[in-house]
Structure 1
Amino acid sequence: MVEKIRPYWPADVPANFTYLQGEKPLFAYLEQHGNERPNDTAYIFYGQEVTWGQLLDYVNRLAGYLHKKGVKKGSCIALYLQNCPQYIIAHFAIQKLGGTVVPLNPMFKENELAYYFEEAPIEGIIAGAEIYPLVKKAMEKSRHLSFIVTANYQDFLPDQPEWKFPEELLVPKQHLTETDDFTTILQTENPYEHTEQVDLWNDIGLMVFTSGTTGRPKGAMLTYGNALFKSASAAHSNVMKEDEILLASAPLCHIAGMLMGLNSTVYSGRPCVLFTRFDPLATVDAIEKYRVSYWYSIAPMNWAILQIPGIAQRDLSSLTTNLATSFGVQVTQELSDKWKAVTKGCPLYEASYGLSETHTCDTFMPKDKVKFGSCGIPTFDTEIRILHIETGKEVAAGEQGEIVVKNPGVFKGYLNRPEATAETLRDGWVHTGDIGRLDEDGYLYFMGRVKEMIKSSGYSIFPEDVEALLNLHPAIRQSAVIGVPDPVKGEVVKAFVVLQDSNKEGLTPDAIISWAKENMAAYKYPRYVEFIDQLPATSSGKVLRKLLKEE
């Protein structure tokens, strides 16, 4: 595939790369940084610096605690946290023991957590103190966890934070008899020096819940090698330099945010400014103060910064690389030109195409040959083909079909779902369920989804998942959801609801929306609800969402 795109391969990107520290797990990269340059900065959290030496010590101490709790190779441990140093520490402490990290979005609510506790053999969870009550409620309905650790974000904040920290994430520290305190563990546990030897390309280091093309979320099993390869691919294709300063505000629980804000930092050894969430003014302040040079953003973030009064007078000239993902706001020539003017020269271009099953970033955009509207060209050791939807045969350049991907980032399969695995993963190729085309130069253009997945603000929403949660409402007999266009989020959820006969009086669509808001992640709950007497369905009972969308 590289031969097809050779004319557009950037001059400053080698055709192949050599791993910076060799072919080994990322937690071994962290160990090397910590041992060889312990005083260098790894992360900056609202002004609080954490060095590589401190980070390694914290990882070893938490690993000691986890080892005592029985965590070993293959153990599944969930992370239910906002972006914070504790997230990074926990991620690599689990992997140091050969365990499997299971990231859970901190926006998940009680019923969603209960579902994941049943789907995966999660042995323990490390949760933010502010959302621990949801864990406690979910446990009443589902699997019993063998241990729970709660983390308070203020434990890693400086006495005088550089920027305002989200107040709703700060909760008074309490002594909870049913959980262990993250910071107390770091203060009292002895460092665990042994590192579990893992099979890089077969042992599972990460399990990301995704629905693939259909159904409720399934656990996509990704190896330690998948993470290493994609981290290296992203760093080398985007020519990450030795003196880069990174900034991360995309969610670490999301595969793209994890790759850019966690794995790429540890792979490259570059310092990273970390925020729990995006804030336009704080981002500008951080770029100025720390001379940030490398940022992965979502296009609406760039747009928001451009709206700041007096932004032209701010100094964003340190930025040299800004990869962005088009969600709601598209990365266009116009937006890029405005960004380039404000930053005094930093181009803005599409980050990549990818999905959870491939550890994302299957393409990259050549900096010197940007094609707006495309996702760039296949990255190192990656093949992308376009197959005819009906015949399954490869189509010619310019023709649309299903995108299929093959590279060393491809997952091992879905946990306990052999049929779903066989449908998606065939002879090493991931059949994405996405529609796209390749032009004559090898650039990939994403056109839409074969199935009915909804994309809202960058999050994947699966109809069956939202419907299952809606149907927990005592007044709802049936529901079906579709995506409807939204000028900011790209798409939002609209629900069609069939009420129980005894609940047809007095209940309003707004009441259903309010209930859903309390019981679903913020990106997932329906923004529109329409009551309907009967859902269109086949003779076998399968709901025809297509007809609802057409109406």
Structure 2
Amino acid sequence: MERSEQPQRRPWLRHYPAEVPPELDYPDCGIPQLLRDAAAKHPDRPALYFLGKKTAYRRLLADVNRMAAALSSLGIAKGDRVAIMLPNCPQAVTAYFGALSIGAIVVQTNPLYMERELEYQLADSGASAIVTLDLLYPRLSRVRGERPESGPLPELKHVIVTSLKDALPFPKNALYPLKQRKEGFRADIPYGRMGVYAYRRLLAGAAGEPPEVPLDPAADLALLQYTGGTTGRPKGVMLTHRNLVANTVQTAAWCYRTVGGSERFLAALPLFHVFGLTVLMNYSVLRAGLLILLPRFEPDAVIKTIRQKRPNIFPGAPTMYVALNHHQDARTADLSSIEVCISGSAPLPLDVQERFEKLTGGRLIEGYGLTEASPVTHANPIWGLRKIGTIGVPFPDTDAAVVDPATGEPVPAGEIGELVVKGPQVMQGYWQRPEETALALKGGWLHTGDLATMDADGYFTIIDRIKDVIIAGGFNVYPREVEEVLYEHPAVREAAVVGVKDAYRGETVKAFIVLRDGWQVSRPQLDRWCRERLAAYKVPHLYEFRDSLPTSMVGKVLRRKLLEEEES
């Protein structure tokens, strides 16, 4: 279908760059085939860089095959769930592709989870194996109980334990245990007992090629990715191989000016989060690029890595770019290698975008996604028409609309409603939750729970989460709108707005503020600033100044945590 023939209900297609087709061809394969193809075409090209050590595609595929064979030798088969609880390190990549190679379903698990959260996710998914770090084993052992068969997780038969030293070059690998002992780490890990295995020994003993497991990309699950639990307990989002392959190909099409094989991806986003998993791990392998792994986001380490390793693609969250904008070395360090940054997980303030682009000379665009869509559905064109404050336009093969939350009927351009999306990246449903699946997926449309508008050009703007809307004195207040005004104040580094209980208004607006270093501002000054820019009912009645705000691992400010603190 020619672009001029596309339905008028997709006005965004008029603003697609000429290089981006509205419809794409997707390989009919599973995620592991992306790695096999990269290794076949570019065996000696570096695939991973981690704290001084490079791994070529040939070696990465060999490690993945050994992991697949090792898992198979433990009796893990197609459809079994394999949890991965690791920071960004080569073992996280090997475990992911190894499990998928034998048809297992990966359950990405946050290394920061405490026992209660960890037990819930492992029990809900029915994971039969987990790959984790020696530093995290004590927490896992308390969840399992002293004897696995008597503990709360009878299905978790196998625990594979690795250490960061397993991925370090010499002499760092020899010095790492000394560093652990100096820091007081003394984990008593029962290797060889209770289903606990040493990662390196297990892979070294894996003999032969892994079994060939046929995959149906459209039907076979690759991932159970748990949501953050903003609407009750976390749910496992069922994503197929085709869902993930499609979103990876869509992302690659959007970044059309980057050259395959020359991309260098800075992986400061956690790979266990679906944003990092798709736009870093899967995308880098699709393009046979180099994935530069950082175990956690630290501004010092990020600036040093950009200066030394010259990455050109740096997906992140607004808080990451805020931290770098305000870093003491940002103006003197050479950050010019950065070409493309896709910001997700939270709104991107204009001031943050402009400052970071000035520092790097690259393009920082705001996009949008959610776990249920693998995750990306929208983005501003990187080298086309950007509309500041919007999430841009839908990806190729992705439909989107704004509907009345009560009736499901589309609303006119410019009016607020619920954002719904449809496309090849949309999930199959929630794991073992048919009722909640039916509420989220209606006629193939995913109901996001986000309030949005669409303008006449087909650019979408997120107003807020439906559940985050503050109703103050009968008026709707959208936290993001108030936060944007606060971010414009020169003294404000970060801001978060929530609704707190109020005997008179029902709810009232409270703002949590982090100030820029060396700046001071009073509550009356902020109040005056807001009153000049907002209707009176939107102006915060309460302000609280803090040194930091609670954030998720991808830098999303957790309004829920702020509310919990208010209510405690």
**TM-score band w.r.t. shorter chain:** 0.7 to 0.9
In the alignment, the residues of structure 2 paired with residue 175 and residue 317 of structure 1 have an alpha-carbon distance, to the nearest angstrom, of 45
Task: Pick one of 279, 289, 301 that aligns with 1:270.
Answer: 289
Secondary structure of 1:313's partner? Answer: coil
CA deviation after TM superposition for structure 1 residue 326, in Å = 6.3
Give the corresponding residue for 1:510: none
The residue that corresponds to 1:70 in the other structure is 75
Contact 2:69 2:206 in 1 (8 A): yes
One-letter identity of the residue aligned with 2:394: P
Opposite residue 110 of structure 2, the aligned amino acid is: N
Question: 2:342 maps to which residue?
Answer: 323
Contact 2:453–2:460, Cα closer than 8 Å, also in 1: yes
Please, which of 17, 26, 34 is the counterpart of residue 10 of structure 1? 17
Partner secondary structure for residue 451 of structure 1 = helix
Query: 1:29 offset after TM fit, Å?
Result: 1.3
2:485 equivalent in structure 1: none
Is the aligned partner of 1:362 residue 2:377?
Answer: yes
- Give 1:6 deviation, angstroms: 2.2
C-alpha distance in 1, partners of 2:214/2:362? 42
Partners of 1:215 and 1:122 lie apart in 2 by: 21
Deviation for aligned residue 1:111: 1.0
Aligned to 2:543: none
CA pair 194-324 structure 1, distance change in 2 beyond 3 A = same
Counterpart CA distance in 1 for 2:397 and 2:246 is 10
Q: Residue 15 of structure 2 contacts residue 385 of structure 2 at CA under 8 Å; is this kept in 1?
A: yes
* Equivalent-residue separation in structure 1 for 2:302 and 2:371 (angstroms): 27
Find the aligned partners of 1:484 and 1:187 in 2 and give their Cα distance.
56
Amino acid paired to 1:146:
K
- Structure 1 counterpart of 2:53: 48
Q: Is the 8 A contact 1:151 1:181 kept in 2?
A: yes
1:198 corresponding residue in structure 2? 215
Distance 2:171 2:512 in 1: 39
* Offset from partner CA, 1:393-419 (integer Å, 9 cap, x none): 111111111111100011111111111
Structure 1 residues 525 and 149, CA, compared in 2 at 3 Å: closer, same or farther?
A: farther
2:445 and 2:400 map into 1 onto residues whose CA distance is 9
Cα distance change, pair 421–528 in 1 and its aligned pair in 2 (3 A): closer
Q: How far did 1:426 drift?
A: 1.3
Indicate if the aligned counterparts of 1:154 and 1:170 stay in contact, CA closer than 8 A: no
TM-aligned CA distance change 1:190 to 1:419, over 3 Å: same
With over 3 angstroms needed to count, the CA separation of the structure-2 counterparts of 1:18 and 1:70, relative to structure 1, is: same
The one of 251, 255, 258 equivalent to 2:274 is 255
Superposition deviation, residue 311 in structure 1: 2.6
State how 1:208-247 maps to structure 2 within 5 Å: 208-210=225-227, 214-239=231-256, 240-242=258-260, 243-247=262-266
CA deviation map 1:487-527 (0-9, x unaligned):
469xxxxxxxxxxxxxxxxxxxxxxxxxxxxxxxx978668
Q: CA deviation at 1:165?
A: 9.5
Distance 1:170 1:86, change over 3 A: farther
Q: Which amino acid aligns with 1:151?
A: T
Normalized against structure 2, the TM-score is what? 0.77
C-alpha spacing 1:32/1:194, structure 2 compared with 1 (3 Å): farther
2:199 to 163, 182, 186: 182
Segments of 5+ residues of structure 1 without an aligned counterpart are 457-481, 490-521, 533-551
Alignment partner of 1:39: what SS?
coil
Change (3 A) 1:43 1:449: same
Paired position in structure 1 for 2:97: 92
Corresponding letter in the other structure for 2:69:
G
Distance verdict in 2 for CA 1:191–1:434, change over 3 Å: farther
In structure 1, distance between residues paired with 2:84 and 2:436: 25
Aligned to 2:539: none
1:261 Cα deviation after fit = 2.0
CA deviation map 1:241-299 (0-9, x unaligned)? 22211111111111111112211111111111110111212212222222211110212
Query: Which amino acid letter does the alignment assign opposite residue 430 of structure 2?
Result: Y
AA matched with 2:375:
T
Taking the aligned partners of 2:412 and 2:437, their CA distance within structure 1 comes to: 27
User: In structure 2, how many angstroms separate the alpha carbons of the residues matched to 1:88 and 1:52?
Assistant: 12
What is the SS of the residue equivalent to 1:93?
Answer: helix
Q: Equivalents in 1 of 2:312, 2:185: separation in Å?
A: 34
User: Higher mean Cα deviation, 305-314 or 214-223?
Assistant: 305-314
Equivalent residue, structure 2, for 1:507: none
Q: Residue 157 of structure 2 is aligned with which of 142, 146, 171?
A: 146
1:430 aligned partner:
446
Are positions 1:313 and 2:332 aligned together?
A: yes
CA–CA distance in structure 2, aligned partners of residues 485 and 153 of structure 1: 40
Question: For the residues of structure 2 that align with 1:526 and 1:313, how far apart are their CA atoms?
Answer: 36
The answer (yes or no) to whether the contact 2:398–2:423 under 8 Å persists in 1 is yes
- SS of 2:131's partner is strand
Question: How many Å separate the matches in 1 of 2:561 and 2:13?
Answer: 44
| Bigger Cα displacement from structure 2, 275-284 vs 196-205 | 275-284
Measure, in 2, the Cα distance between the counterparts of 1:296 and 1:441.
26
How has the CA–CA distance of structure 1 residues 65 and 430 changed in structure 2, closer, same or farther, with 3 Å as cutoff? same
- Kindly provide the amino acid, as one letter, of the partner of residue 255 in structure 2: N
Indicate yes or no: 2:465 matched with 1:446. Answer: no
Q: 2:463 corresponds to which letter in structure 1?
A: M
Distance 2:422 2:217 in 1: 18
- Distance in structure 2 (CA, Å) of the matches to 1:529 and 1:317: 41
Contact 1:26–1:267 (Cα < 8 Å) also in 2: no
CA distance in 1, matches of 2:65, 2:511: 47
AA aligned to 2:372 is E
SS class of match (2:467): coil
Give deviations 1:35-86, integer Å, cap 9, x for gaps: 3322110010112111111111111111111101111111111111111111
1:170 Cα deviation from its structure 2 partner: 9.9
Report the Cα distance in structure 1 between the residues aligned to 2:205 and 2:224, rounded to whole angstroms.
30
The question of whether the paired residues in 2 share the 8 Å contact of 1:204 and 1:221 is answered with: yes
Written as runs of structure 1 = structure 2, the 5 A alignment for 1:404-415 is 404-415=420-431
Structure 1 residues 213-252: Cα deviation after superposition (integer angstroms, max 9, x where no partner) = 6221111111000000001111111224222111111111
Which residue, out of 35, 40, 51, partners 1:35?
Answer: 40
C-alpha contact 1:152 1:171 (8 A) present in aligned 2: no
Cα distance change on mapping 1:443 and 1:127 into 2, 3 Å: same
Structure 2 residue 411 is the aligned partner of structure 1 residue 392: no
Question: RMSD of the alignment, in Å?
Answer: 3.0
Determine whether 1:340 maps to 2:357. yes
Task: Decide whether the 8 Å contact of 2:22 with 2:397 is kept in 1.
Answer: no
**CA distance in 1: counterparts of 2:514 and 2:129, whole angstroms:** 37
C-alpha distance after superposition, 1:146-185 (max 9, x if no partner): 11101101210223569x9997899568652331011112
**1:179-207: CA deviations, max 9, x gaps?**
10111122221243433111101111100
Q: Aligned-pair distance for 1:212?
A: 7.0
Q: Paired residue for 2:525? A: none
Partner SS state of residue 91, structure 2: helix
Equivalent position SS for 2:387:
coil
Distance (Å, rounded) in 1 between the aligned partners of 2:131 and 2:562:
29
* Letter in structure 2 aligned against 1:276: P
Aligned partners of 2:466, 2:10: CA distance in 1, in Å?
29
- Aligned residue in 2 for 1:299: 318
Q: Is the 8 A contact 1:323 1:348 kept in 2?
A: yes
Rounded Cα–Cα distance in structure 2 between residues aligned with 1:485 and 1:158: 47
Question: Secondary structure at the residue paired with 2:103?
Answer: coil
**Against the structure 1 CA distance between its residues 296 and 159, is the aligned structure 2 distance closer, same or farther, given a 3 Å change threshold?**
same
Corresponding residue of 1:157 = 168
CA distance in 1 between partners of 2:91 and 2:157 (Å) = 20
Q: Distance in 2 between matches of 1:46 and 1:447?
A: 40
